[in-house]
Chains A and B, each alone.
Chain A
Amino acid sequence: VTAPLEADVLVVGGGMAGAVAALAAREAGARVVLVRRSPGATALSSGAVGVAPGAAGRDAPLAALRGPVEAAQAHALRHPDHPYAVVGAALGALPEALAFAARALPLLVPALDRPRVLATPLGGAAAAALCQRSQASGDLLAARGPVAVCGFRGHLAFDAGLVAAGLARTARRGGPEAFAVEVDLPFDDPAARPHELARGLDAPGAAERLGEAVGAALRGRGAGVALMAPVLGLDGAARAAERVAAAAGLAVAETLSDVPSVPGLRLQAALEAALRAGGVEVVTGALAGPAIPGALVEVAGRVIRARAWVLASGRYVGGGLARRGTLREPALGLAVQAAEGREAGVHLALRPAASLTVRDRRAPQPLLSAGLRVDARLRPLDDGGRPVHPRLLAAGAVVGGHEQATDGTGLGVAILTGWLAGRAAAGGIA
């Protein structure tokens, strides 16, 4: 029998919220164990960090978009159930939390006072606070000269013409002009899927050949940046996007991604690397049975004891929440009682799925924004409204009241609440 793994903080969940919580607790001097069943849902994200939509109105100029912090504050005012509103004054720590995440994850570029406006693979635009280095030159507010959308000849999954036509709509709001070109892939695989293309470009010489083709196709066309499908390398260390740019002799950027997401996979890999570098002990496995902070828990045969816990187990994709007739928080059996909007009602967890959704797909859906209710210090509340345990905290998508996959605040909430919860859990140790 091995001795229990003793730690100050146990983090449950290996996505953005859990990793930031673990790293923040480490920075505060705590010994941290992170338990996770599998890589988090962060691997399925667009690859950039949206903090808040910062909408300025349908036809308003892009330059009028609010910066991340201001946008988050405005979002909190309009959405009283949202974690940004629930944490109260602690929302003011958002810039610090974002700076912390950008330091911990070297593939990200730090936040600016204004949002970055990044293209989607369908030619739309979305606001992001942080983004990957491979996405940064695609910021429509920073492009110097027209955007050349480069498709791969022979590859149907990314339609450069459509992306350019979509961006032309943004041009009316002060975005750059856009045009489309096609370049040859440096290898022959017309029906390849995104991760296969990305792996192909990691190979020595492939990114360089692609860059030369991009450079040749755009010579003399005055392009400010070449915008490409989000497949520029799976291995962050291979720096495929930078190699393409160097060979092209021009700035190169990826669009945001849908699923499967190569940038999302890179982001997840960066989290893993940061956890290793930060000295966080990572244990892969599921919590066996409910327990409370301070008690011994067993995960994959290891016995762990920590005085404070951070639950950052995600929403439905992450597995932090599940529904089988009723809504449950499977790891600790906590009450699911927060969701956005009045439709949610008090018996949220017991209500039929159809009554927790509304007909308009694009409207907020209480079923998709369900999660734990927490107090301003991120302690989950029981059904009587009292904290379940003084040293049990929650972070990220397991906290309800926001639809993290769609409202443009998902990873922003993960970083803010992860950072706050990690520091609070480590509080009084150092």
Chain B
Amino acid sequence: MDYDVIIVGGGVNGTGTARDCAMRGLRVLLLEKADFGVGASGNSSGMIHGGIRYMLSDRHVTELACRDSGYIQRIAPHLLFRIPFLMPFASRKEGATLREKAVFYATEVYVGTYDLYQPLKRGKPSTRLDAEELYALEPGLRPGLHGAVTLDEWGIDAFRLCLLNALAARGHGAELRTWTEARRLLVEGGRVRGVRWRDALTGEEGEARAPVVFNASGAWSPAFARRAGAEVPMRPGKGVHLTLDRRYSSYGVICSAVDGRQMFLMPHENESIIGTTDDDYYGDPDDLEATHDEVEYLVEGVASLVPGVRDARVTRAWCGLRTTLYAYGPTEDALSREHQLLDGAGDGVAGLLSLIGGKLASYRAQSQEATDRIEQLLGRPVTPCRTHEVPLPGGDEVPDPVALAREFPVAPPVAARLVYRHGSRSREILAMVREDPRLGLVLCRDEAILAAEVVYCCRREEVRRLQDLRRRCRLAVGGCGGLDCARVGAQLAGRTLSWTADQVHAELADLLDQGWRDRRPVLDGAQLAQEELLRGAHGLSELT
């Protein structure tokens, strides 16, 4: 056998499990059909939250999530940021009814109960705000609110979280193959023998052999398992988010949608995010696109509390599929957020282990559980897990950006973004600038992407396609859609990865295609003018 375990899927569970397995000494191959985090992980709300939503139905999920949120802060301190939320007390008419007052009180008690878990994740306890305090904090809220209660949560760049887990796994000997699809399971005599794969970029095909295959391919996992005759029951739920071009509020705001569902507007990195929908999805996971209805639903929900959001610039709509456990009957929101490990032995595919459900915030615990099971399936003793103690790459130290800007020839805001994305490894990138001042070119003023960062990501962070840089360093995802950075980014990546001129052109076109998919449902106002500019600048009128 070539490997002990083949992991299918480069989302947070696949990469997290790859890291854990590799740290425990297993020989690991990770196959990802596109790039790290492109499914549910990267398209989640980007929060390491404690799952207050699930406190009533799955209190266990809440505790697990809070505890692990604390661990993730320990191993990737640079990648997390605090998001204080406001849960405003809103009534439909002037003066709250008795019933509404009871709801406000219940909310306070509910959030107060959540406070019990907050210390697990260094969260601050909740505070009751009166109306005056509320408007002092967020003057953009609609008039007539009765106050609010606060709620502390943490945000994260989920794409980089997946990447860091993958890089850590690589550091412990795992082999990573992105843009490589696991086509089918090799099964002999009711036992898994490995996987047949195909490289989507080179067309190369091959077989990798291992006694255990861990199926962590999210929304794609039922189809993958079914090809080998195993069932993975799932009820996929589509979740759509919108991105605004700037931080539209200082605090997260919990709102109620037109149908009473809870949703939010929150500051996240340099932008604000509105989320989210939750609807059953029956289509092909590869065809997922946000619709006009979903965009309107989200904007309307936030506008009920933050009316000005109607004038905000929505720069993209993006979506993913929750891999929720199958149940017939409950509405989408009421489905359990628990996770489940399914053993293929019952379906005659021993050695196949599938993971469904679960939360981003609990990925590490889920990975630990999966790795324990993988060791058992291999017939080995379960060895200690250390993924909550050992820092992820770059997570050993968070350098002070101002000090870095004094030490290296970059501006402090550039250093700050670099530290956010790369932690202690920012020093390596800045050393490249010191050695070659050309690499100090700032490609994107929104995201402060340094030429050196592009080169570094291409060399060290498993970049195979230009669009991977969207997820490594946010190339062409900002409000300009790549107007400034896309061509120069393509040139740098092409030079670093020795692409031909044809490849550079094709990769640039592919990068712009990705952005177009996200912007199509939201082209309005200034974003529409931006689109016109972007299309003009990127040479669609060239001779073909």
Contacts and interface: CB of A to CB of B under 8 A. Distances in A.
B524 A353 contact: yes
A38 interface: no
Interface in B422-440: 437-440
Interface in B254-300: 291-292, 295
Interface string A305-340: 000000000011101001111000000000000000
Nearest to B294: A354
Q: Max chain A CB contacts within 10 Å: which of B488, B502, B521, B539?
A: B539
Contacts of B520: 353-354, 357, 359
A121 B440 CA distance: 21
A311 B349 CA distance: 71
Contacts of A258: 487, 537-539
A117 B535 CA distance: 20
Contacts of B491: 122, 156, 159, 162
Interface size class on chain A is 35 or more
Contact of B532 (A125, A316, A357): A316
B543 A355 contact: no
A361 interface: yes
Contacts of B291: 354
A317 B532 contact: yes
The prevalent SS among residues of A at the interface is loop
A125 B292 contact: no
B438 A155 contact: yes
Contacts of A53: 541, 543
Interface size class on chain B is 35 or more
Interface stretch (A78-86, A286-294, A404-412): A404-412
A124 interface: yes
Interface in B502-544: 502, 504-505, 508-509, 512-513, 516-517, 520-525, 528-529, 531-533, 535-544
A45 interface: yes
A272 to B, nearest CB: 21
Nearest to A318: B529
Contacts of A354: 291-292, 295, 520-521
Q: Max chain A CB contacts within 10 Å: which of B516, B522, B528?
A: B528
B495 interface: yes
Given A258-B539, A405-B532, A405-B535, A124 B505 contact: yes
A162 B524 contact: no
B219 to A, nearest CB: 20
Interface string B96-123: 0000000000000000000000000000
A205 interface: no
B133 to A, nearest CB: 33
B536 A55 contact: no
B429 to A, nearest CB: 15
B501 A162 contact: yes
Q: Max chain B CB contacts within 10 Å: which of A123, A166, A317, A354?
A: A354
Contact of A55 (B483, B505, B544): B544
Interface string B110-142: 000000000000000000000000000000000
A270 B529 CA distance: 24
B325 interface: no
A259 interface: yes
B500 interface: yes
A368 interface: yes
B543 A126 contact: yes
A165 B438 CA distance: 22
B487 A405 contact: no
Contacts of A121: 487
Given A162-B494, A316-B529, A354-B292, A406 B523 contact: no
Nearest to B508: A122
A410 B522 CA distance: 25
Contacts of B47: none
A116 B1 CA distance: 62
B501 A169 contact: yes
A221 interface: no
Given A55-B544, A121-B487, A405-B532, A324 B525 contact: yes
B442 interface: yes
A226 to B, nearest CB: 20
25 contacts: A55-B544, A117-B543, A121-B487, A122-B508, A124-B542, A125-B542, A125-B543, A126-B541, A126-B542, A127-B543, A157-B441, A159-B491, A162-B491, A162-B501, A162-B504, A191-B441, A323-B525, A323-B528, A353-B292, A353-B523, A354-B521, A362-B540, A405-B532, A406-B535, A407-B540
Given A156-B438, A403-B535, 15 more contacts: A44-B537, A122-B490, A122-B491, A122-B539, A156-B441, A166-B501, A190-B440, A190-B441, A316-B529, A323-B528, A353-B524, A368-B532, A405-B535, A405-B540, A406-B535
The 6 A-B pairs of least Cβ separation, nearest first, read A405-B536, A408-B541, A165-B501, A352-B292, A406-B540, A316-B529
